[in-house]
């Protein structure tokens, strides 16, 4: 009845989108980092910080690599469902993102499920889709919707369910300084909006 994998690995290879024409140069990005270091009260020219701007820019290329990925291409290769018409569920997809309000880290897991229509995709593609949207400046609510809506649009399944559970650095490292709290968001589409699938998927995703 159920196809479940856990702790999905997220490979890096995906289709590449065009770079915006107005994107700052690497030199401009590194200069911006040096400005922030000075604003924080330190000297970007001292030994320990001399190479930090270049390191930060390289890290940003990785952390925000999702802007260069085309979600439609990630789901482009599809397969006949070979008679299988029940639930496909991938649990515990590692998720790392950055809050667009404070540039603080978001970390947690995503659970993605769908009821196949005519086609299915390799399970690794679900993990890559989550990763592509997570590696952008995000709020968790939008991230959850983007994953679910893209699956619905590209695969045209009978139903999609996405649940994201994550901790936010903007709460744990500043402001209210609340540690150990986690935010839960979900989006249910198609058959999962109705019983009995709604009850079944929520039970499976809360297990």
Residues near 66 by Cβ (< 8 Å), separated by ≥ 6? 131, 132, 133, 134, 135, 136
CA distance 16 to 18: 7
CA atoms within 13 A on the CB side of 59: 10
In terms of Cβ atoms closer than 10 Å to its own Cβ (0-12, 13-18, 19+), residue 186 is: middle
Q: CA 80, 83, 87, 92 torsion: positive or negative?
A: negative
Beta strands per DSSP E along the chain = 3-5, 79-80, 88-99, 105-115, 119-120, 137-138, 159-168, 183-190
Closest by Cα among 189, 180, 185 to 205: 185
DSSP 174: S
Scan for tokens 């589409």, then name that residue.
Answer: 189
Catalytic machinery residues: 99-102, 140, 168, 170
């Amino acid at each position: 009845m159920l196809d479940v994998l856990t702790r999905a690995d997220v490979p890096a290879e995906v289709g590449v989108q065009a770079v915006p024409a107005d994107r700052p140069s690497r030199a401009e990005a590194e200069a911006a980092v040096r400005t922030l270091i000075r604003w924080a009260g330190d000297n970007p020219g001292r030994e320990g910080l001399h190479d930090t701007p270049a390191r930060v820019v390289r890290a940003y290329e990785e952390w925000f690599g999702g802007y260069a990925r085309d979600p439609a291409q990630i789901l482009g290769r599809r397969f006949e469902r070979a008679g299988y018409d029940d639930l496909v569920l991938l649990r515990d997809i590692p998720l790392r993102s950055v809050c667009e309000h404070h540039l603080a880290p978001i970390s947690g897991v995503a659970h993605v499920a769908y009821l196949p229509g005519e086609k299915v995709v390799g399970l690794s593609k679900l993990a890559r889709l989550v990763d592509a949207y997570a590696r952008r400046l995000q709020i968790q609510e939008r991230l959850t919707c983007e994953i679910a809506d893209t699956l619905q649009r590209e695969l045209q399944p009978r139903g999609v369910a996405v649940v994201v559970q994550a901790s936010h650095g903007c709460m744990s490292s500043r402001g209210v300084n609340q540690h150990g709290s986690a935010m839960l968001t979900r989006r249910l589409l198609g058959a999962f909006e109705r019983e009995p699938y709604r009850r079944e998927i929520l039970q499976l995703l809360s297990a």
